[in-house]
Amino acid sequence: MLSFNQPRPVSSTEPVSMQLHGAEDKMLLNEEPADRPAPSAAPPVPMSELHFFVRYTLSEYVRFMWDHGGFLIRRRRIRFPASLYLRLKSTLSAALHFVMLGRGRRTYEFTIDQHGIVRTSGGVTLIGWEDVLSVRTYSRGFMMVLKRGTLPIPYRALSEGQMAAMKELAAARRDSLL
């Protein structure tokens, strides 16, 4: 009965308990097991702190969602009639949520540094680098794709130095995921 609860190795003839024992020894020596990649909790490039404020407009937010929806649909290789329908549906849904949640009335304060992202607007949201899947570049700005959701960052909210740092971050994030 207990053997049903134990994971069975696919390629090794060594018992699971011996494999687990070997992994514990490696962890005691502060080494990573060979079959597990090292987590990327830190940002891929050393960066100074970015601090800026954003107040989204409806047209800007809709454009972000239109671009991001197009990326997701192309990635899934959905063809013309269905792709247009899905893109319209997702963009209109995002626009409705934008209006209903009053996101255009709030001013968001962002702080991005080596520890992660802090977004403040009434409450504080802390996002670690392990939650950032990618940083995409669209026509209106950058889109930080998170494990749960997205963070649009418009170009107009960034200075030239901050924009260069975000481009570096996007390139480094893309390179680290390949």
Residue 49 to residues 156, 163, 174, Cα–Cα distance (Å): 18, 12, 20
In a domain, 40, yes or no: no
In a domain, 164, yes or no: yes
For residue 178, name the pLDDT band (cuts at 50, 70, 90).
low
Count of domains in the chain?
1
In a domain, 42, yes or no: no
- Report pLDDT digits (tens) over 100-143: 887 878 888 999 888 888 999 888 889 888 888 888 888 888 98
pLDDT at 82: 79
21 pLDDT exceeds 80?
A: no
- Report pLDDT digits (tens) over 67-97: 888 888 777 787 788 778 888 888 888 889 8
Residue 78 to residues 29, 68, 143, Cα–Cα distance (Å): 48, 14, 22
- Report pLDDT digits (tens) over 23-79: 444 444 444 444 444 445 555 544 678 899 989 889 888 898 888 888 887 777 877
